[in-house]
Structure formats: structure tokens, C-alpha cells
Amino acid sequence: MPDPTDQPRRVAIAIAAHPDDIEFMMAGTLLLLRNAGWVIHYLNVSSGNCGSNSLSASGTEAERLAEAQEAADFLGATFHPPFSRDLEIFYDLQHLRHLTSIIREVNPTIVLTHSPEDYMEDHTNTSRLAVTAAFSRGMPNFEVSPARPPVGGEVAVYHGMPHGLRDAMRRRVVPGLFIDTASVLETKRQALAAHRSQKEWLDVSQGLNSYLQTMEEMSLALGRMSGEFQHAEGWRRHSHLGFSAVEIDPLGQALGQAALANSDYENGLG
């Protein structure tokens, strides 16, 4: 009889910088994983304290915390509270020790996080932190806070698309894996709509018009890019070195026909 400890862990975590980042670029994939029987986790590193023109930082944090918890409930995800603040997410030991502790607690097989190249440093630093936290999950001599024992097992890290589908130097970013999110778009929209405080802020600060419309436009653009789906999210798989003995793609395997590999990208032509 197979040892149950040898079976793949059906656990995934989305790690993003700010409240609403998961809903913009990752929530459809999370929902599909949940529907496929996976346990899903939800973490925004920052409290989102700078996301208001009218409220104080503490007032903004309280409002955005409640919104993020509501959004996680829509997604059916386990919520992990933020531990940093806007523009204070740095690739440093304090952040890394805390995030690695969460990774050890969750022990995921799939980590979803930001693109390594994006329009703001909070996103790119979160991406770097997520990669190193996953890498150091099994290192007994790396101290984490709060203290937790190291964990074993394979993990795959996937990077989402940057906002605008281009990096900070305006270069087009092409996914290696497209996920068909049409069937869960309405729930994804509801989860994003939970971040009510962000409509005015994003309209004024970043010219995003309606944030719900902006999300849907990016979803449609990725669908067109796939050549097959109407709505999609896009992912690039991190190198397996240090994370698994051989190349693995648990996301593609878990979602089956809802996942479409970009053969040009996988062959190094993308």
C-alpha cells in the first residue's frame, strides 16, 4: 500500500504585495484549484495603509483588512494577516524570516506570486521574498519568526503577469501557462469588488477607471493571447532547481484542460 506521506500535497498559497493584487491577477487560478479539491491560502504582505486619499493610515489598514478578509471568504481561502506596510516591503531578513515561517506552516506544493518584473517595487520585492522563502523552507539552520520546524517535499513557484502585461521597461511579458478562468470570472469579480475602498483610490492615483473593468480587460487580453480561451490568467514557472528533484508542473496537472502550455515559451522561444 502506498505511503500516504508520499502523496502530493494539494495545498496552494497566493502571496501578493497589497490587498486586491490577488484578485486582479491570481484569484481565478486559486478558485479553479479549490474546485479541483485543493486547499488554498491567501496572503497580502502589506496592510495597504497608503491606499486612501481621505483616511488615516490606521483607518485605511482597518478598512482594507476587513475587505481582504471578505475577499478571501469569497474565494474559500484560508486568510493570513499582513505583516508589512505599503512601500516598506524590502528584501530583508525581517520579511524573509516571517514569510518563510508562513511557508513552513502552510507547506504548499504550489506558490503563486508576482512577476519578477513589474511596475512597482513592492511587487518585485514580494516576488523575490516568496522565491527565497520557498527555497529555505527545509533549511534547519535558517531561523524563522515565529519559529517553526523545516518542512520537506517538492514545491513549484509560479509568477503571475505584471499589471499592464508589460515589465517596468514596457517590454511585453508572455506567459508560459494560460489558465482558462471564464467559468470562475464572476466569483473573481465579486472577490475584487470586496475591495470597495480602492475604486476611488485607483481611479485617482493610477487612472485605472473602474478597477473591475480593468481586471476584466486584462483577463480578456490574456484570453486573446492564449489563442483559445475567452478569459485567462497567465503564469511563468520558476526554475525547479532547489525546489524539486526534476521539473514539475503541479498547476498544469491539477487543472487539466483548463491549462494551456505556451509551447514557444516552454521551448525557450517566448
pLDDT tens-digit profile of 165-187? 999 999 999 999 999 999 999 99
Q: Output the pLDDT for position 201.
A: 61
Contacts of 69 (CB under 8 A, 6+ apart): 79
Q: Say if residue 108's pLDDT is above 50.
A: yes
85-94, 142-151, 209-218, 221-230: segment of lowest average pLDDT: 209-218
Phi, psi of 7 (to 5 degrees): -75, 145
Q: Output the pLDDT for position 212.
A: 86
**Residue with the larger pLDDT of the pair 54 and 228:** 228
Q: Say if residue 257's pLDDT is above 80.
A: yes
Domain boundaries, the chain: 8-266
Q: Output the pLDDT for position 3.
A: 40
Which CATH fold would you assign to the domain 8-266?
Answer: Rossmann fold (3.40.50)
pLDDT tens-digit profile of 126-136? 999 999 999 99
For range 59-88, the mean pLDDT:
97
For range 11-37, the mean pLDDT:
97
For range 242-270, the mean pLDDT:
87
For range 111-124, the mean pLDDT:
97
Q: Output the pLDDT for position 29.
A: 98
Query: Grid coordinates representing 27?
Result: 484569484
Q: Give the DSSP letter string of the chain.
A: ---GGGSPP-EEEEEESSTTHHHHHTHHHHHHHHHTT-EEEEEESB--TT--SSS-HHHHHHHHHHHHHHHHHHHT-EEE---B-TT---SSHHHHHHHHHHHHHH--SEEEE--SS-SSHHHHHHHHHHHHHHHGGG-TTS--SS------S--EEEE-PPGGGB-TT--B---SEEEE-GGGHHHHHHHHHT-TTHHHHHHHHH--SSHHHHHHHHHHHHHHHHTS-SSEEEEEEPP-TTT-SS---HHHHHHGGGEEE-HHHHTT--
